[in-house]
Amino acid sequence: MDYKIKRMIYTVDDIYTLPDGKRAELIDGEIYDMAPPSRKHQGMVGELFNRISNHINSKGGACKPYVAPFAVFLNADDYNYVEPDISVICDPAKLTEKGCNGAPDWIIEIVSPGSRRMDCMIKLFKYRSAGVREYWVVDPDKNRITVYDFAGEDSAEYSFSDTVSSVIYPDLSIDFGQISL
């Protein structure tokens, strides 16, 4: 006898009906629970967000940075909802009161022990296929920053003693040696 297990397909509506305080992301109809971030994780997000936001504001650009929890409806459908640690959106038409409808231009994820597979594999593929232009995976435990330039089909690895430049903002460099954890 052939048995088929039918997988439950979830939608954004299921994310919005989660109990208060429970966070999850939705990728291709599958729900992934999110653990609360650590103090170190939040400190890193804050430092990076401040530097990026200050740079963008000083240049008067059209791009807008957002920090999690910020809803990104990645494929502008009901089956993909993520909350990247930092999102930079350069097309104001993608922004709604609920969040970003479509792929941000630049996403940064800070890896936590429980999010390594998600950030380095699942989201890497999803972000690239959705049209994200630049993706940084910042891994404090491995002292590594991986920068993916999806538009240029390139990637580079750096350590926390390096200065890393953005692809979409070439004049923005972040000296990771100056980031306090």
Q: Do 102 and 73 contact (CB within 8 A), yes or no?
A: yes
| Separation between Cα atoms, residue 170 and residue 95, nearest integer Å | 24
pLDDT at 76: 79
Q: What is the pLDDT of residue 58?
A: 93
Q: What is the pLDDT of residue 47?
A: 95
Q: What is the pLDDT of residue 5?
A: 61
Q: What is the pLDDT of residue 119?
A: 92
| pLDDT at res. 6 | 63
pLDDT for 10: 94
Name the pairing type of β-strands 106-110 and 86-89.
antiparallel
Residue ranges in the chain whose pLDDT is less than 50:
none
54 Cβ contact partners less than 8 Å away, ≥ 6 residues apart: none
The model carries a pTM of: 0.93
Whole-number pLDDT of residue 16: 92
Give pLDDT, residue 124: 95
- 178 burial class (0-12, 13-18, 19+ CB within 10 angstroms)? exposed
Task: Work out the number of other CB atoms within 10 angstroms of the CB of residue 61.
Answer: 13
Q: Bridge-partner residues for 108, per DSSP? A: 86, 136
pLDDT reported for residue 77: 87
